[in-house]
Every structure is written in C-alpha cells, then in structure tokens.
Structure 1
Amino acid sequence: MTQRSVLFRELRAPELRDLARPDTVVMLPVASMEQHGPHLPVGTDSMLGHAVCERAAKLLVEERPALVMDTIWTGLSEHHMAFGGTVTLDFSTFHKLIHHICRSLQRHGFRRIALINSHGGNISALQTITEEITRDLDLPIVTATYWTLAQHLLAPHLLTQKGIRHACEAETSMVMHLFPDLVDRSALAAARCPDARDHRADDTEDGYRWLSFAEKSPSGALGDPTVSTAGQGEVLLDIAAAHLARRLADPSFWGPRAGD
C-alpha cells in the first residue's frame, strides 16, 4: 500500500480507515509555546518536534505505515511565564487533551501511538500520562523526548554543549536550517548564557526544586547560540529523525502489548 502523505491532516477519512492497523505507527508531537530567548520564535519546540517526526515518518513508511498528527502546540511552561510570549496549561488539561486524542485513535483501530516530546518541561508529566493511558486504554503507548533519545549521537556534533538545552547552539542551528528568516542573528550575542546551571528534575544531588527560568538565565536562553549554523542544524535534525525511526521500528521499543 502506497501512502500519499505521512501527515494525518492531509489524508482523507477513507485513507485513514485503511491505515488504521495495529502495525501503523502514529506519532503525536508534544511541544510548547514559550519564549526562546531574544533570537528564536516562541514556536521553536513545535517547529523542531514536528520536523523530526515528519522526517522520521518518511523513513519509517518505507517499511510500515506511519503517521504524524498535528502537534500539541502548548504544554507545561509555567516556568517561562516571566518572559512573556508563553502559553501554558495545567497538568489536568494537558493530561485530558492527550488522553482524548489517544482514545480517538484507539477507537479507529490504531494501537502504536508514540508521544514525541520536544519540551523539557513536559518530560515528567508525559511519563505519568503514558502510564495512565497505557493502563486505561490497554495500548502500547510510548513517550520519548527526541533529543534525549539520540543524545549519544548528537553530542559529537555539538561544539559547546553535550545535549540540547534551551534556545541554545543546537536549537538555534536547527531553526536556522528550517526557518532562517525567523532567527534574529543580531540578538545571538545577547542571548548567550553558556554558564547558567540547567536545573532539571533529575538533578538529585541537591534535591528537586521548581525555579522560574528567569532564575536560571537572564536572557531566556541556556547555551551559546553564537556558534550555531544552518549546516549543523540539518545534521542534528537528520540524526534525531533517523534514530527515532530506528527505535519506532524496533518491536522491543513497544513492549509486549504491541503484539507482533
């Protein structure tokens, strides 16, 4: 069966009925609408997450049906509210939105649903949501953050950081490749904040505490975007997409609920 598009929104209902099979992989990108320093657009996470998913789906579709849903463009971003340009949800709304989308897909016959995250503030919530939806809908749902999944492959291509941070070398490079006109290159130096500590939920040495992003970085960025290039961005996107496609094609990634 030849698939006309990997984008759910571009297909017609009869085509989607034909694709509603247990082996079809459905990616639901989950992102945010939040400040990304003075140089990147507030939709950066949505743009990057969707790009990685679409590229991965085009690789996957050579072997099996694959679809990319429209991105959930807002998530849990309370920590960015101090900068403006940010839209955030509470956990209950976020949970219900994802649950209802997954339930709709299940009712149509889809089973392999992957929540592909592109925002650090969503990570712990998505793990909880995945546990509950797996139990409630008996689906082999997985969640993965595209950059942590491929961090070991991305790191050798980064000059100033080990992984993806926020409005950093990596994110800026990827936006430069995808949407060069949306990057304010005159603000790159002002955004530079390479020494700011990136407090994450897995920072257990001192325990976990919530901080506004303004307490971490005066610019709203973590990292050094002055070294970013569009060429680097293309490489990072291709690596992330290829690794995501490999993992989604691996039966062990889905666990025993997926069946054959």
Structure 2
Amino acid sequence: MTDKIKLAELTSAEAKEFLTDEAVILIPMGSLEDQGVHAPMGDYLGAECVAHDIARKARELGVPTFVTPPIPFGGRDAFQSAHGGMSLSHGTLCAVLDDMIWSLTRQGLTKILFVNGHGGNVAPLNEVALRWRDKGVILPAFYLWKAAYGILKDILGPEGAAASSGHGGDPLTSIGLHYYPEILRLDLMTDPAPADLTFMGMQVAGFAETSYEGVPIQMPIEAAEAAPHGIRGGHPKNSSADTGAKLSARLAEVGAGLIRDHVSKGFVA
C-alpha cells in the first residue's frame, strides 16, 4: 500500500494499482463563510484535516482509504451575507455531488464517505444519497460538527461544553487551534451576540429562527443579523488546542470505526 493518502497526489499508475474496489474514498466538504472575526472563513480546512486523520486511522485498521480534494463551497444558507463568502445553490451543489459520485462509481469505486463540515450541505447530501440509493449505492455522510457537540460534553463536561460550544466558538475554534493555529487571529476575538437581538419585532433565537411566546418560528434571518461578529452561543475564549486535539482524535476514531465496520463492507444488511 502506498503512503499517499491524498487522491490528488497519486500518479495515474498508482491510481490503477491502489484504487481497487476495496478502497474507501473520503470526500471532505465544508463552506467559505463567517466563522467568527477571529477564525478563518473556510471551515472546509478543518473538515479536510479531520478526513486525513480518519483515513490514517482507517488504514491502521486495515482499510485502504484515500481522501479527495475538498469541496470548499457550501450549500447556500443564512451565511450568504458573509463578506468574501462563496456558496452554491442547492441545485448546483447536488449537481456537483452527483458528478463526483458518477465519476467514482463508473470506475467501480462505490465505498464513499462524505466528511461534512457545514450545516447547509446536509439537505443536498440527503437528496443525492436518496437518489443514489435507488441505483444501489449507499452514501453515508459524517457531519463532524454535529457529532462534535456531543463529544465536547465528554471532554469538557456539560457546563464546560456549554461555555465554549456555538458558532464561532467550539468545535471550530478548538479544531483550528489544533490544526492551524497560525492563521487564527485571537487578538480579534470578541464576545458572542447578545441575547436581546430582534428581527421584525421578534426575538432572535438562532440562525434563521425567532421566538414567539417561547416557540421557535422559522424566519428569513441572515447570519449577520443573528450574530453580527459571527459568534453566537459559547465564547471562543474557552476554546483550546488541547480540546481540539482530543476532539479530532475522537472524530477520527469514530470515522475509522464506521469505515471498518460498515463503509468498507458496502453496508451489507
């Protein structure tokens, strides 16, 4: 087995040799949006780093695993107002995913796992996965940051996780401090959005959500209106490289186990 993990680094001869029907292909994806005034906009950077760790761990478990270049542009959602952000419409992202899967499956590469780092990708991934299921291909997606919120409670305890978890806080700030601390700007860090923000006379309860008599109401709120500085919920001052290291290790462990137990076996019922 080659030491190369990145699909892009394989020569064409190596691709023919190592990309057999036993190979598992990881496709990392994320977004380019406001992640807080202190953090890099590309959360796909973190997803790609975790995907590489998952692949390394899966290889330790005996599964030949490779990682494609990341899809850096996320599905369009409330964060489209981010200055410098770039996103794809639902239909365009579905088309990109379809074309990538078609390219792999026509070569017999059907053991695919999406390593997702953006909430706006969830609906397109689900739509495409249901379509390909009808063709006999099962396409799981590991939503890293959703899983991370639960794992943070194990690492920090419920109170510690609540103090750091949120958009612009954990998991992404700790993940960034672990993998690429040199591009974070902690000197620009600011407080989370205040609790008294309103939209059209209603209390802002979250991204694309208000509250009426304690009941959540979906509203067309842009991210900048729910979190002017990209931070909502926990404070990024509570994030750390140590938390990021523990979090990434657990995500890699879970991802590699999923690959060994299910993806590599083709999800036999």
TM-score by length of structure 1 reads 0.86
Kept in 1: contact 2:164–2:170 (CA 8 A): no
Which residue identity lines up with residue 224 of structure 1 in the other structure?
Answer: H
Cα root mean square deviation, aligned: 2.6
What is the match of residue 248 of structure 1?
259
Residue equivalent to 1:21 = 20
Report the residue type matching 1:27 in the other structure: L
For structure 2, which runs of at least 5 residues remain unmatched after alignment?
196-203
CA shift for structure 1 position 27: 0.7
Answer with 32-41 or 15-24: which moved more: 15-24
Higher mean displacement: 148-157 or 98-107 = 148-157
Q: 1:77 Cα shift?
A: 3.4
Provide the secondary structure at the position in 2 that maps to 1:161: helix
| 1:196-215 correspondence runs (5 A) | 197-199=205-207, 206=216, 208-215=218-225
Matched with 1:218 is 228
**1:164 deviation in Å?**
5.3
Residue 246 of structure 1 deviates from its aligned partner by 1.0
Match of 1:146 among 141, 144, 147: 144
Cα separation, partners in 2 of 1:163 and 1:187, compared to 1, 3 Å: closer
Q: Is the 8 A contact 2:25 2:67 kept in 1?
A: yes
Mapped to 1, the partners of 2:142 and 2:129 lie a distance apart of 10
1:81 and 2:80 matched? yes
Give the C-alpha shift of residue 176 in structure 1: 1.3
Structure 1: how far apart are the matches of 2:188 and 2:33? 17
Q: Counterpart of 1:161?
A: 162
Distance 1:169 1:67 in 2: 27
Q: Is the 8 A contact 1:7 1:69 kept in 2?
A: yes
Distance in 2, Cα, partners of 1:129 & 1:182 = 34
2-side partners of 1:82 and 1:68: how far apart?
30
User: Against the structure 1 CA distance between its residues 162 and 113, is the aligned structure 2 distance closer, same or farther, given a 3 Å change threshold?
Assistant: farther
Give the direction of change, closer, same or farther, for the CA distance of 1:249–1:213 in structure 2 (3 Å limit). same
CA deviations 1:45-67 (Å, max 9, x no partner) are: 11110011100100111211101
From the superposition, tell whether residues 232 and 212 of structure 1 become closer, same or farther in structure 2 (CA, over 3 Å): same
Task: Kindly name which structure, 1 or 2, has the bigger radius of gyration based on alpha carbons.
Answer: 2
Report the Cα distance in structure 2 between the residues aligned to 1:164 and 1:85, rounded to whole angstroms: 25
The C-alpha deviation readout for 1:7-32, integer Å capped at 9, x for no partner, is 11111122222233333211101111
- What percentage of residue pairs aligned between the two structures are identical? 22
Structure 1 pair 22/164, CA: closer, same or farther in 2 (3 Å)? farther
Q: Kindly provide the amino acid, as one letter, of the partner of residue 217 in structure 1.
A: A
Which residue does the alignment assign to 2:199?
none
- Cα pair distance change 1:161/1:153, threshold 3 Å: same
C-alpha deviation, 1:217, in angstroms = 1.2
For residues 122 and 81 of structure 1, the distance between their equivalents in structure 2, rounded to whole angstroms, comes to 13
1:165 offset after TM fit, Å? 3.3
Give the counterpart letter for 2:192 in structure 1.
R
1:4 aligns with 2:12: no
Partner of 1:236: 247
| Partner-residue secondary structure (3-state), 1:116 | strand
CA distance in 2, matches of 1:225, 1:149: 19
Between structures 1 and 2, the one with greater strand share: 2
Deviation at 1:150, TM superposition (A): 5.1
Q: In the alignment, what sits opposite 1:70? A: 69
